[in-house]
């Protein structure tokens, strides 16, 4: 029997009905990172729709998605594939699914940590943090040093006023996401 649990969950999370997709693949044709994906947006959608839940959640494609919304703009049926990808990333993290793109997830975590600390992005800190997390200290180091030397990346971070509020906002969002996960996992997560 078709396992529709992930599809139902994604529909609820992304506020839409992905069953309206008629597989024209316009989303994939316009996606700027489809060339690097294994399946592409329209196939990921079909995987969710037809119960290939583990494969969809474990796909690197959902992490390669840049959230640019080109797919949603091009879709003749108003399917928001970007929201679908977003929902899949959230569910993948919450369910602790196998993630073949830990580097991308680590990048997102480092980014959010800096936003909490400074209230804005500081590229040099992001570079250092990502290298410490991934333990890949030397990759792209030359390009990073060049950017610093040319003054493209400030060395000292600037903080905005009200970083506490930014931090509280992000923490509240995290709490809400966790609570939503517990509720939806009890609704859909254990269905077969
Ligand atoms: S463009 Fe829309 S209808 Fe076409 S495959 Fe993508 S999601 Fe489905
Ligand atoms: S939002 Fe993601 S899937 Fe959609 S076009 Fe952009 S990169 Fe591709």
Q: Which atom of ligand 2 is nearest to the CA of 74?
A: 5
Instruction: Looking at mean pLDDT, say which of 58-62, 99-103, 169-173 comes out highest.
Output: 58-62
Taking residues 20-47, what's their average pLDDT?
97
Least confident stretch, 29-43, 53-67, 76-90, 124-138: 124-138
pTM: 0.84
Q: What is the pLDDT of residue 190?
A: 58
Taking residues 167-189, what's their average pLDDT?
83
Q: What is the pLDDT of residue 189?
A: 66
Compute the distance from residue 113 Cα to the ligand 2 centre, in Å: 24
Return the best residue to mutate from 34, 71, 75 for the ligand 2 pocket (most ligand atoms within 8 A of CB): 71
Compute the distance from residue 104 Cα to the ligand 1 centre, in Å: 25
Taking residues 28-36, what's their average pLDDT?
97
Distance CA 98, CA 156 (A): 37
Least confident stretch, 36-40, 58-62, 175-179: 175-179
Task: Compute the C-alpha angle 12/71/112, nearest 5°.
Answer: 65
Q: What is the pLDDT of residue 127?
A: 87
Burial class (CB in 10 A: 0-12, 13-18, 19+), 174: exposed
Provide the mean pLDDT of the chain.
90
Compute the distance from residue 33 Cα to the ligand 2 centre, in Å: 7
Residues in contact with 46: Cβ distance below 8 Å, sequence separation at least 6, in sequence order: 21, 23
Q: Three-state DSSP class for 41? A: helix
Compute the distance from residue 7 Cα to the ligand 2 centre, in Å: 19
Q: Which atom of ligand 2 is nearest to the CA of 67?
A: 1
Q: Which residues line ligand 2 (CB under 6 A)?
A: 31-33, 41, 65-71, 81-82, 85
Distance CA 78, CA 76 (A): 6
Residue nearest to atom 8 of ligand 1 (CA): 21
* 106-159 tens-digit pLDDT: 889 899 999 999 999 998 899 889 888 888 778 778 888 888 888 888 888 889
Q: What is the pLDDT of residue 192?
A: 44
Residue nearest to atom 8 of ligand 2 (CA): 31
């Amino acid at each position: 029997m078709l396992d529709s649990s992930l599809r139902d969950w994604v529909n609820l999370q992304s506020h839409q009905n992905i069953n309206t997709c008629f597989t024209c693949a316009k989303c994939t044709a316009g996606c700027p990172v489809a060339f690097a994906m294994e399946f592409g947006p329209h196939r990921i959608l079909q995987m969710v729709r037809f119960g290939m839940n583990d494969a969809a959640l474990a796909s690197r494609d959902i992490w390669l998605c840049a959230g640019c919304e080109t797919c949603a703009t091009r879709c003749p049926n108003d399917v928001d594939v970007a929201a679908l990808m977003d929902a899949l990333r959230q569910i993948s993290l919450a369910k602790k699914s196998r993630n073949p793109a830990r580097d991308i997830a680590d990048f997102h975590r480092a980014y959010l940590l800096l936003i909490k600390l400074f209230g804005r992005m500081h590229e040099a800190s992001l570079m250092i943090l990502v290298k410490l997390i991934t333990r890949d200290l030397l990759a792209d180091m030359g390009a990073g040093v060049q950017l610093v030397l040319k003054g493209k990346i400030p060395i000292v971070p600037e903080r905005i006023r009200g970083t506490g509020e930014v931090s509280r906002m992000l923490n509240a969002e995290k709490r809400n996401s966790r609570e939503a996960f517990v509720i939806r996992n009890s609704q859909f997560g254990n269905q077969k």
